[in-house]
Structure 1
């Protein structure tokens, strides 16, 4: 049974989400603040985190950054702060999805299901491939650069694998949105650009002579390799 960590200081919202997720077959842990979330995460890593932004002790953005420093665990942000600045800050910080309050509990469950489906959708037999010093194991969804593992969020990993399965081919933003963000996507293609930005940062030590993520202005992106 997959476990969900709910980080929410409003007891009523936390209880409702817990009830719907348990009904959907998930195991649920509820905590009221960021510090308690870190302790729960370290003692028993969940399959996914539902994360509020405005909380005591540590806000959701800080907690997201600390989680991303050590794990690619999927994170869906749930918040009353629905401005585009906050939404982009969450996505740029590595969130896999962002939902504004008030929300329908059934939709939250659907988003959780969609995010948790992503890890298996790119598996392809036992394929492994080297792009110079960059090594990709498609089955295990692991990436190593110069022998060191590269940590990416599940969504960013899916973007990179989509490009890596099509080396030197141009992939449009529309293709990436359709294949990676799926039905749960709301917003502009700016989310694709932010994902590519994070991937480039993660691969900053990949020699340009071996390959790179290229932007084709007005068209899309390409994993170019020699």
Structure 2
């Protein structure tokens, strides 16, 4: 059974979310502060976290960073802060989606379904989920990236973008295509998020030989994951 951790200090909102999530057949763990949420995360290892930004003891950003140091668990941020900069902060810090208060509980359920679909890979696909280009290896099942056998640190959203690019080598992909296929159709931010993610990926792949491949900019169009070696 899918386990969802709700970290939200407003009891009314927390309980409403629990009711709606349980209706979907999911097991729900509730936490009402940042520290309580971290303890619940380590105790239950949830499949997804709904995380409020404004918490009484430690804010959601610090909880997000701590979880991201341990796992790729999908995280949806909940907050009353609705401007673009706050959305970008959350997404660029490793959040998988960003929901602005006030929200409709059914919308949260729909977003949870969407994120779970994006991160769940059918078992028959997991057996063939490794992309290898020279010394670069991208493993979809374990969600790690290696160059010459060495683990490369990469944010969850950046991993998803890199994985999508690796699935479509030597093709020019527009920012709109990348936003739709990686961020999802519900994403409300700007295409600047793609540029920032590409910048971080390039830094992460700095030890990948230029003779084997590179992530290039196609002026006026988008990006291309160029490979010069066979998979």
TM above 0.5:
yes
- Structure 2, unpaired ranges of 5+: none
Separation in structure 2 between the aligned mates of residue 216 and residue 101 of structure 1, nearest angstrom: 38
Give CA-to-partner distance per residue, 1:131-156, whole Å, 9 cap, x none.
22211234554432332344555543
Of 71-80 and 165-174, more deviation after overlay is shown by: 165-174
Could you tell which deviates more after superposition, 24-33 or 151-160? 151-160
* Match 2:128 to one of 126, 129, 133: 126
Following TM superposition, the consecutive aligned residue runs of length 4 or more in structure 1 with deviations greater than 6 angstroms are: none
**Deviation by residue 1:64-115 (Cα, 9 ceiling, x = unmatched):** 1111122111111010011222111111111111111000000000000000
RMSD across aligned positions (CA): 2.2
Q: How far does residue 125 in structure 1 lie from its aligned partner after superposition? A: 5.8
Count of residue pairs brought into register by the alignment = 226
Residue 22 in 1 paired to residue 61 in 2? no
> Tell me, which stretches of 5 or more residues in structure 1 are unaligned?
none
Contact 1:119 1:154 in 2 (8 A): no
Seen in structure 2, the aligned counterparts of structure 1 residues 68 and 38 have a Cα distance that, compared at 3 Å, is: same
Aligned to 1:223: 225
TM-score normalised according to structure 2 size: 0.88
Query: 1:32 — aligned with what?
Result: 32
Q: Which residue does 1:206 correspond to in 2?
A: 208
Deviation by residue 1:150-186 (Cα, 9 ceiling, x = unmatched) = 4555543332111101212211111112222333222
Q: Give the TM-score, by structure 1 length.
A: 0.90
In structure 2, do the counterparts of structure 1 residues 149 and 212 end up closer, same or farther at CA, with 3 Å as the change threshold?
same
Alignment match, 2:88: 88
Match of 2:56 in 1: 56
The worse-fitting range, judged by mean Cα deviation, of 45-54 and 65-74 is 65-74
What are the residue-to-residue correspondences of 1:71-86 with 2, within 5 Å?
71-86=71-86
